[in-house]
Amino acid sequence: MAQELENDRLLRALAREPVDRPPVWIMRQAGRYLPEYRETRAQAGSFMSLCQNPELACEVTMQPLRRFPLDAAILFSDILTIPDAMGLGLYFETGEGPKFRDPVRSPEAIERLPVPDPEDSLGYVTDAVRLIRRELNGQVPLIGFAGSPWTLATYMVEGGSSRDFAETKRLLYGDPQAMHALLQKVADAVTEYLNAQIRAGAQAVMVFDTWGGALTPRSYREFSLAYMQRIVDGLIRENEGRRVPVTLFTKGGGAWLEAQADTGADGLGLDWTIEIGEAAQRVGDRVALQGNLDPSVLYAPEAVVREETRRVLDGFGRDTGHVFNLGHGVHPAIDPDRVAAMVDTVVNYRRAD
């Protein structure tokens, strides 16, 4: 049976059930903006060492909950754990972000890719989930996550971050069959990975499609959304006697909200380039919406942070189905006091009659 949750606002909001106020959590809520995180990362020695140490991953997952009255914890990990477990040789260059020693650019390389066993090569993630659940002890729900197949494929083909995705789009347009083979394999890996997180104790999951907005509308549906649909269809949707909601987030994907809602996902994440009230009108009550304060607002004075937070809350326009969040991850240079002001504004928010 389900563990009793002291605070289940997130799960109720994603089910479009009544809540006393919108729940709040923050993308990248455990990260470099927190001095305690920086201390723990220094202790770990490197970012991936931190990710691969369940005890330290648990510690940094819990850190923001000690500072702020958040309504959810999110597993501390990275979206590139799956391609790393596929043997592509993940490493980090100072100032340049993640890179892979063995990018995948041919049908033969795609064919050779293994689908990793999430309890074997990714067992450090599921171990962290179990540890975090014990540490949370029913305080708030735990969110698990993964990158979308398209987003992971861009890193795998490019060999790292990219501005124009030249190699990825060369494969997409030049050999779409090979691209589909890659995306299908990654989608299956993501589905198994998220299901392993759910079995280990994740009470909600999220798929981050960071680079879906780089595609044309037709290509988005064919090469990104179709594979997120495959994941939604393959997920465990009930565990511990409770529904496990899934949220999809495409950065730059505001044009395709209706198609995203058709997937059967419980929630859709919004970046800051769309008015949340407009989004709510377009999808109706089919899905909950998460978002969507511009993270850069947190550089502003506290009064502005509070005003802009209320603007998003008021803009949603109804009482059910809103999870407050940023439109993307919190920036490393943000003052934690600004985050505190934002969270406090949500916690004390009541919609005017």
Q: Quick: pLDDT tens for 11-50.
A: 999 999 999 999 999 999 999 999 999 999 999 999 999 9
Tokens standing for 241? 């006697």
- Does a structural domain hold residue 3? no
- Does a structural domain hold residue 4? no
- Catalytic residue from among 38, 67, 78, 175: 78
The CATH number assigned to the domain holding 151 equals 3.20.20.210
pLDDT at 138: 96
- Catalytic residue from among 33, 37, 155, 227: 155
18, 22, 28, 33 alpha-carbon torsion, rounded to 10°: -150
Is 32 one of the catalytic residues?
A: yes
Q: What is the pTM of this model?
A: 0.96
Q: Could you read off the pLDDT of 232-252 as tens digits, one per residue?
A: 999 999 999 999 999 999 999
Residue holding tokens 């479009």?
16
Is 41 one of the catalytic residues?
A: yes
Give the Å distances, CA to CA, from 34 to 14, 46, 60, 308, 337: 28, 16, 10, 22, 10
Query: Is the model's pLDDT at 351 over the cut of 80?
Result: no
Q: What is the C-alpha to C-alpha distance for residues 215 and 268, in angstroms, rounded to an integer?
A: 18
**Annotated binding-site residue? 262:** no
Q: Would you give the DSSP letter of residue 299? A: G
Name the domain count of the chain.
1
- Catalytic residue from among 9, 16, 21, 28: 28
- Does a structural domain hold residue 209? yes
- Does a structural domain hold residue 188? yes
pLDDT at 353: 56
What's at 67, amino acid-wise? R
124: buried, middle or exposed (CB in 10 Å: 19+, 13-18, 0-12)? middle
pLDDT at 1: 45
List strands edge to edge, sheet with 322-326: 73-74, 142-147, 204-209, 246-250, 267-269, 288-293, 322-326
**Annotated binding-site residue? 317:** no
- Does a structural domain hold residue 352? no
**Annotated binding-site residue? 328:** yes
- Does a structural domain hold residue 353? no
**Annotated binding-site residue? 31:** yes
**Annotated binding-site residue? 191:** no
**Annotated binding-site residue? 271:** no
Q: Could you read off the pLDDT of 159-189 as tens digits, one per residue?
A: 999 989 999 999 999 999 999 999 999 999 9
pLDDT at 141: 98
Range name among 33-37, 90-94, 293-297 with the lowest pLDDT average: 90-94
Is 163 one of the catalytic residues?
A: no
pLDDT at 96: 73
Q: What is the C-alpha to C-alpha distance for residues 174 and 42, in angstroms, rounded to an integer?
A: 44
Is 155 one of the catalytic residues?
A: yes
Domain span at 109: 9-347
The closest of 136, 117, 118 to 73, measured between CA atoms, is: 136
pLDDT, the chain, mean: 96
Is 173 one of the catalytic residues?
A: no
Confidence class for position 93, pLDDT limits 50, 70, 90: confident
Q: CB-based contacts of 261: which residues, under 8 Å, 6+ apart?
A: 268, 283, 286, 287
